[in-house]
Structure 1
Amino acid sequence: MFKHLSTTLIISTLLLASSSSIADEKKTYRWRLAETWPKDFPVFGDTVKSMAQRVKEMSNGRLIISIDSKNKHKAPLGIFDMVRAGQYQMGHSASYYWKGKDLKTMFFTTRPFGMTATEQYAWFYYGGGMELMQEVYGPYGLLSFPGGNTGNQMGGWFRKEIKSVDDLQGLKMRIPGFAGEVISKLGASPVNIPAGELYTALERNTIDALEWVGPSLDLRMGFQKVAPFYYTGWHEPATELQFLVNEKAFNTLPNDLQAILTIAMRASAYDMYAQSMHENAINLEKIAKEHPEIQIKTFPASIMLKLQQANNDLIEQFKQQDPLTKAIIESQERYQEITRPWTQISDQTYLEISQ
């Protein structure tokens, strides 16, 4: 499926757009996109809007994508089903939300102690990640594309300081995907709650802690008002959101509009990574200046060791699920082995010598 969507062929398709039929050139395609996020949600929602605008401009108005936020469709964690059923032609969410439907989906968002954002993008586009992702989503009649990266996320907001593994026993924490599986091995109780309900859940003691994103978005949510301990990350080093596309709807588009949509998604996804870096930097500075009550912490080494051990055990268990799960995990492991030495020699070494 994705071989005809390679960069070279996308460009070729655009150059040959003039060969489309006169009917296709005049026809306007109107699509609907459902997003997990509330209306006008910053960064995540910006990515969806920019994608739709790029599509409109590049297609000269031949493909128009309207956006329904969770305020309208009322199903923030129902994007998979709505796009699969054709209720919406597209969706914007995160792949790890669908682990209850298919465990393999969660590996395409991020995983604890896994690749950085740049390593993961390289894996998607040059290391076989896109092809593996389509093997997972194809049977559901869906296409999945990278939908924007947050970079390394913070480890979460906690009401109480976490000093040992004992402090995690029975802790109710909003933490989805693979990381939720890991932390449950240490005695915590992970739950998944939509973005719009997070603050209320924390304020009303429905949960004891939560992870969301990082300074880029967290301060706007007000978590610091009820949970002053802010921990650095381990669980989501490269959180990639997702554009979901109904495959039948995609196949009804002329070739040039398929290429335009694909390019717009890719451009908007990477732009979100840049925007996330900017917003994280601006808001980290704000924490230092305006919120001295926030205590930024790193989990003790004893906890990190237990988390890594639990993660490794789960990885081995997941490999036994089925051949495709094993292939995905081993592809990611091998690619991390290939790229991490360069990350260390380039970025890590530079950061160490430039202090």
Structure 2
Amino acid sequence: MERRSFVQGAGLAGVLAAGTAPAIVHAQANLRWRLTSGFPKALDTIYGAAESFARKVKEMTGGKFEISVHAAGELVPMPGLVDAVQNGTVEMGHTAPYYYFGKNDAFALGCAVPFGLNSRQMTAWMYDGNGLKLMREFYSGYGFTSFPMGNTGAQMGGWYRKEIKTVADMKGLKFRVGGFAGKVTARLGTVSQNIPGGEIYQALEKGTIDAAEWVGPYDDLKLGFYMVAPIYHYPGWWEGGPQLDLYVNQKAFDSLSAEYKAIVESAAAFAHTEMQAKYDARNPAALKTLVSKKARLVAFPKPVLDAAYKEAMALYSEVSASNPVFKKIYTDMASFRREANLWFRFTEARFDSYMQSVKL
């Protein structure tokens, strides 16, 4: 049996179990690649996904394929990540695609848009819907391919000096919000600003901004926002299931053997699952700690959510009218969302609602 046929027929797990993997790996060349992250090392869950990926690649290749992981700014600044991967300055990048919507709004669809998909729906759209296919078609114009590699799950709505009680409270609010979401909050009257994570605390403390969103309890606790803006609103309606991506320079990826390509894909899938598992496991304790430190959990009023939803849908129609790539991808995502929400309404949502109402 030919080696490749055997690998495809048995799958990676079967190959490893059969003890044939070393022979396959040993046939490959030694490789040393570099991966630039869009995040600082201090954020062990997000930055750590790239480290887990690199570790798995090394393990599955018997140390023959090593990938060094570099924090944002070490090799290239975060805003330059896409250009660095595109130009082959580095072979790989790990980031939140919506950071680059300035290049094309379609980047946001590979991560999260307001009132988009939750994390499970995003993974389903990517792997069993058209999401990955459509995003890869789009990314091919930038000279790289992509693999889902992490999701935070639904995020919190951020930290505020004053409670948001009505839509009017959004007007004039100097709000640090990442990615595409700022386009929607701006339509509600905010003065949206995209400040790097490491600079948010100082901006809140000095009053340069009035509010800021980041991720959720585990990461937010580390950054200490509760000390300068105690109102913790939820949910982060602009990030129901933000996915991170592994970008791989297309020429570099094409140069890999079939076995190494499969290993990259498998390692990314492992890191994808592990990252959300870490958030789901660590956020509960972090939330309790924040509450003990006098953080005030406050839900966004429904009228605020309704107004934001209306503006988001209007924005998508406007962008679709002038951006055919965005329209193609968003139309498919919206169709998937509609069907997925119909299913979740009768199962996940009802089950979760009941379980969260009982005293365990």
TM-score, structure 2 as length reference: 0.90
Gaps of 5+ in 1: 1-6
1:238 equivalent to 2:238? Answer no
Percent pairwise identity: 35
What is the rounded CA distance, in whole Å, between the counterparts of 1:193 and 1:26 in structure 2? 43
**Are the aligned partners of 2:35 and 2:67 in contact in 1 as well (CA < 8 Å)?**
yes
Match of 2:246, as an amino acid?
A: F
Taking a change above 3 Å as real, the CA distance of residues 40 and 196 of structure 1, as seen in their structure-2 partners, is same
Quote how far apart the aligned CAs of 1:320 are.
Answer: 1.0
Matched residue SS, 2:251: helix
Q: Is the 8 A contact 2:147 2:247 kept in 1?
A: yes
Matched residue type, 2:151: N
State the match for 2:224 in structure 1: 222
Query: The residue matched to 1:66 in structure 2 has which SS?
Result: strand
Does 2:342 match 1:328? no
Question: How far, CA to CA, are the matches of 2:159 and 2:177 in structure 1?
Answer: 11
Match of 1:186 in 2: 188
Q: CA deviation at 1:262?
A: 0.9
Which whole-Å CA distance do the structure 2 matches of 1:8 and 1:238 have between them?
A: 32
Range with bigger deviation, 345-354 or 141-150: 345-354
Distance in 1, Cα, partners of 2:152 & 2:90: 25
Name the count of aligned residue pairs: 347
The alignment partner of 2:79 has SS state of: coil
Moved more, 15-24 or 53-62: 15-24
**1:96–1:107 CA contact under 8 A, matched in 2:** yes
Instruction: Work out whether residues 13 and 256 of structure 1, in 8 Å CA contact, stay in contact via their aligned partners in 2.
Output: no
Aligned counterpart in structure 2 of residue 132 of structure 1, from 127, 131, 134: 134
**Structure 1 length normalisation: TM-score?**
0.92
Q: Shift in Å at residue 20 of structure 1?
A: 11
Superposed counterparts of 1:94-243, under 5 Å? 94-233=96-235, 234-243=237-246
In structure 1, which of residues 286, 289, 300 is the aligned counterpart of residue 289 of structure 2?
286
The AA in structure 2 aligned to 1:11 is G
Q: Once the 2 structures are TM-superposed, how far is the Cα of residue 12 of structure 1 from its aligned partner?
A: 7.0
Q: Distance in 1 between matches of 2:21 and 2:276?
A: 35
Residue 274 (structure 2) aligns with: 271
Give the whole-Å Cα distance in 1 for the aligned partners of 2:300 and 2:172.
Answer: 17
Q: Compute the displacement of 1:22 (Å).
A: 9.0
Distance 1:223 1:40 in 2: 15
**5+ residue gaps, structure 2:** 1-6
Note the C-alpha offset of 1:27.
2.0
Inter-partner Cα distance in structure 2 for 1:261 and 1:26 = 14
Distance 1:139 1:294 in 2: 45
8 Å CA contact 1:14, 1:260 repeated in 2: no
Matched-pair contact (CA < 8 Å) for 1:90–1:245:
yes
User: Shift of the alpha carbon at 1:19?
Assistant: 11
The Cα RMSD (Å) is 2.4
